């Protein structure tokens, strides 16, 4: 649901958020909705993708039907939009992939014996992935396997053009289609760099050509950078298994030192989790008057430690400022991505110590504690000590912790899902064939203040499960579904009779939490497993995806790799492409003929559910199944 310009009410569906928005007003702390109102109306050229500032002959603003119908270089509306969109997707792919690289470098450090702070927690998965990518593990110890796998995956980031290791997972028909279209990703970094090259003035000057390369760039994320990030996170920190946890701002504790972990990578947060259990630090916290040290997650770093450790979740994107406004957050420790620069200012209004940890993500005004392989455990202890110190400065009169934590079940990695099914997808396929489970949908991604907070997430999920569609979620959707009570087995009662029965038989919720936003790679991998088992292309499956409240370039990359992999994808609002009829048409329908899937744009979750449902019906009929 779109938020009207100037609106100061009805911004969220949650009481905990409403309470903190009200407290922000009382505390006179500007928050994201205030900045959105100040920025409205937005520039219509920028919003529709029609500005170009890629050289100093300009900047230019294109108006398809006016005297400004071409930029100084001669680019028209289609080209301008396509170039901008290309960079938008490239930035998203780059982000996931550079995150994957960090995991890869950690794996290499383990292999080379350069770290004792990090180790291999899932040796069986390490061996399995080694064998999958062609490394014979016989005679190799764990460290040697780690080193060999790091070597192999490093070539995926390189440029020798031999293709990505995990492309073998893709159904043959899909790989052949990509080959035919010339969009098989060659190297993870290469596609991003080539997109930056193509979008320089006077390089790729055809909108369709740029859009195809945008698809290739996105695929290098989905089947490359993101997939590497997921698989290596599992190997290093453990493959998630189902576990209980809790969610909403109520997970903060008035009598404890509260540390929020925020960002996207498990590399720092796992160390914070360990340091928070340190006896010496616990004693220090008690000496400071705290009953203990309480950790809570935000965004995808939160998802990472939720999936593997059951650390409670304080909130999603639009809750990150509000978590500080409770007055109970003694430290926010961040790695990178989706960390609003405003958080430093919000933190400065309270005792909250804002700590950055990565050289690639400094925040003006923050305390920087750089983490690396060799010092991570020690640095994590320093951060916890800073949090304890901040706790001593907390003003109890400023503390208000709204809400009561809601329970949820998390940890549904593909290994966990297939494990629960007895090691094969056959029972799931049988349920799909019988119509008990009519299909599956992914609901992923962000919040966006232009949309009523979590309204689309929750309503879309409810509508889909009602229609016997199994829902898989990642990222910020997690918190929404958790708070709505959809991540517990009892939520099966909200599902249609078929799905409800399956969930009850297995003791699982109708909405499964599969991870962080890089973990959308788990979902496309699962699609590939199902398609391969059925002997069809991914585009033939009764599945769909949605990023109903997306905001980021990463989400655009995810959406595009989903579509390019054959999964039709819903977006709550469009990217900045509507200034080009050609690019918009390609996205909304034309891609169907090219890659067998396309985008929908629809802010209303009820209508979106109908679109996704119709798609699933259509795919079921095409497979010879009931509607």
Site for a second copy in 503-562 (CB under 8 A): 550-554
Nearest CB to a second copy, comparing residues 347 and 562 = 347
Cα–Cα distance for residue pair 430/189, rounded to 1 Å = 40
Q: Does residue number 288 form part of the binding site for a second copy (CB under 8 A)?
A: no
Q: Say which residue the tokens 């010496």 belong to.
A: 280
Among 6, 9, 56, 279, binds a second copy (CB under 8 A): 56
Strand order in the sheet with 243-247: 367-368, 353-356, 331-334, 257-262, 293-298, 313-315, 243-247, 406-410
Shortest distance, CB of residue 274 to a second copy, whole angstroms? 25
Cα–Cα distance for residue pair 186/164, rounded to 1 Å = 6
Residues 319-338 that bind a second copy (CB under 8 A): 336-338
Residues 587-606 that bind a second copy (CB under 8 A): none
Nearest to 569 by CA among 547, 541, 602: 547
Shortest distance, CB of residue 38 to a second copy, whole angstroms? 5
Nearest CB to a second copy, comparing residues 571 and 616 = 571
Cα–Cα distance for residue pair 506/502, rounded to 1 Å = 6
Q: Does residue number 206 form part of the binding site for a second copy (CB under 8 A)?
A: yes
Number of Cβ within 10 Å of residue 28's Cβ equals 7
Shortest distance, CB of residue 465 to a second copy, whole angstroms? 27
Nearest CB to a second copy, comparing residues 261 and 384 = 261
Q: Does residue number 55 form part of the binding site for a second copy (CB under 8 A)?
A: yes
Residues 448-467 that bind a second copy (CB under 8 A): 448-450
Nearest to 16 by CA among 252, 229, 219, 287: 252
Among 205, 233, 413, 516, binds a second copy (CB under 8 A): 205
Shortest distance, CB of residue 299 to a second copy, whole angstroms? 9
Choices 233-241, 244-252, 445-453, 483-491; region in contact with a second copy by CB under 8 A: 445-453
Q: Does residue number 70 form part of the binding site for a second copy (CB under 8 A)?
A: yes
Nearest to 264 by CA among 310, 305, 212: 305
Among 15, 105, 132, 592, binds a second copy (CB under 8 A): 105
Q: Does residue number 207 form part of the binding site for a second copy (CB under 8 A)?
A: yes
DSSP H helical ranges for 467-586: 477-483, 497-506, 520-534, 553-564, 581-585
Here the tokens at position 125 are 């998965």
**What's the start-to-end Cα distance of the chain, in Å?**
29
Here the tokens at position 319 are 């809750």
Among 125, 169, 198, 513, binds a second copy (CB under 8 A): 198
Q: Tell me the HSE value of 100 on the side-chain side, using a 13 A CA sphere.
A: 29
Using alpha carbons, list the distances in angstroms from residue 252 to 288, 489, 609, 625. Answer: 18, 25, 34, 48
Choices 49-57, 305-313, 377-385, 459-467; region in contact with a second copy by CB under 8 A: 49-57
Instruction: Check the CA dihedral 599-605-610-614 and report its sign.
Output: positive
Q: Does residue number 161 form part of the binding site for a second copy (CB under 8 A)?
A: yes
Q: Which residues pair with 298 in a beta bridge?
A: 315
Interaction mask 120-159, a second copy, x per CB under 8 A: ----------------------------------xx-xxx
Interaction mask 339-378, a second copy, x per CB under 8 A: xxxxxxx-------------xxxxxx--------------
């Amino acid at each position: 649901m779109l938020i009207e310009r100037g609106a100061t009410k009805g911004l969220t569906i949650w009481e905990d958020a409403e309470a903190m928005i009200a407290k922000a007003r009382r505390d006179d702390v500007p928050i994201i909705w205030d900045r959105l109102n100040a920025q409205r109306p937005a520039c219509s050229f920028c919003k529709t993708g029609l500005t170009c500032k890629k050289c100093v002959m300009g900047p230019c603003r294109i108006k398809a039907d006016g005297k400004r119908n071409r930029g100084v270089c001669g680019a028209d509306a289609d080209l301008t939009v396509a170039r901008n969109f290309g960079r938008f997707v490239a930035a998203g792919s780059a982000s996931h992939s550079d995150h994957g690289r960090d995991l890869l470098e950690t794996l290499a450090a383990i292999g080379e014996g350069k770290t004792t702070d990090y180790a291999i927690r899932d040796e069986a998965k390490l061996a399995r992935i080694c064998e999958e990518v062609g490394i014979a593990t016989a005679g190799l110890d764990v460290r040697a396997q780690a080193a060999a796998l790091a070597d192999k995956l490093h070539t995926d980031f390189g440029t020798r053009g031999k293709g990505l290791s995990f492309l073998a997972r893709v159904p043959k028909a899909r790989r052949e289609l990509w080959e035919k279209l010339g969009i098989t990703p060659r190297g993870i970094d290469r596609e991003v760099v080539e997109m930056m090259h193509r979008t320089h003035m006077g390089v790729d000057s055809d909108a369709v050509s740029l859009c195809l390369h945008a698809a290739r760039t996105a695929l290098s994320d989905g089947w490359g950078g993101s997939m590497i990030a997921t698989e290596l996170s599992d190997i290093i920190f453990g493959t998630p298994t189902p576990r209980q946890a809790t969610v909403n701002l109520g997970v903060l504790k008035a009598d404890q030192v509260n540390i929020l972990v925020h960002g996207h990578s498990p590399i720092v947060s796992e160390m914070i989790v360990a340091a928070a259990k340190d006896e010496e630090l616990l004693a220090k916290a008690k000496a400071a008057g705290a009953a203990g040290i309480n950790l809570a997650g935000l965004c995808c770093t939160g998802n990472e430690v939720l999936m593997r450790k059951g650390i409670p979740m304080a909130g999603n994107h639009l809750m990150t400022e509000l978590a500080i406004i409770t007055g109970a957050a003694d430290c926010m420790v961040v790695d990178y991505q989706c960390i609003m620069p405003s958080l430093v200012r919000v933190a400065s209004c309270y005792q909250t110590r804002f700590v950055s940890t990565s050289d690639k993500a400094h925040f003006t005004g923050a305390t920087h504690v750089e983490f690396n392989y060799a010092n991570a455990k020690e640095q994590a202890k320093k951060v916890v000590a800073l949090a304890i110190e901040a706790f001593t400065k907390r003003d109890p009169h400023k503390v208000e912790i709204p809400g009561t934590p809601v329970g949820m079940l998390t940890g549904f990695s593909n290994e966990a899902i297939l494990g629960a099914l007895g090691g094969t997808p056959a029972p799931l396929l049988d349920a799909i064939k019988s119509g008990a489970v009519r299909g599956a949908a992914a609901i992923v991604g962000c919040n966006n203040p232009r949309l009523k907070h979590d309204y689309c997430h929750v309503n879309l999920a409810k509508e889909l499960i009602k229609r016997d569609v199994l829902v898989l979620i990642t990222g910020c959707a997690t918190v929404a579904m958790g708070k709505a009570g959809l991540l517990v087995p009892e939520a099966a009662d909200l599902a249609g009779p078929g799905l409800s029965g399956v969930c009850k038989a297995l003791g699982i919720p109708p909405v499964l939490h599969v991870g962080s936003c890089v973990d959308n790679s788990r979902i496309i991998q699962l699609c590939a497993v199902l398609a391969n088992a059925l002997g069809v292309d991914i585009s033939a499956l009764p599945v769909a995806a949605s990023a109903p409240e997306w905001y980021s370039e990463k989400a655009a990359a995810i959406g595009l790799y989903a579509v390019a992999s054959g999964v039709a994808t819903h977006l709550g609002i469009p990217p900045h492409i509507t200034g080009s009829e050609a690019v918009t048409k390609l996205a909304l329908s034309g891609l169907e003929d090219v890659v067998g899937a396309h985008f929908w744009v629809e802010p209303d979750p009820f209508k979106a559910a109908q679109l996704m449902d119709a798609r699933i019906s259509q795919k079921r009929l095409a497979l010879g199944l009931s509607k």
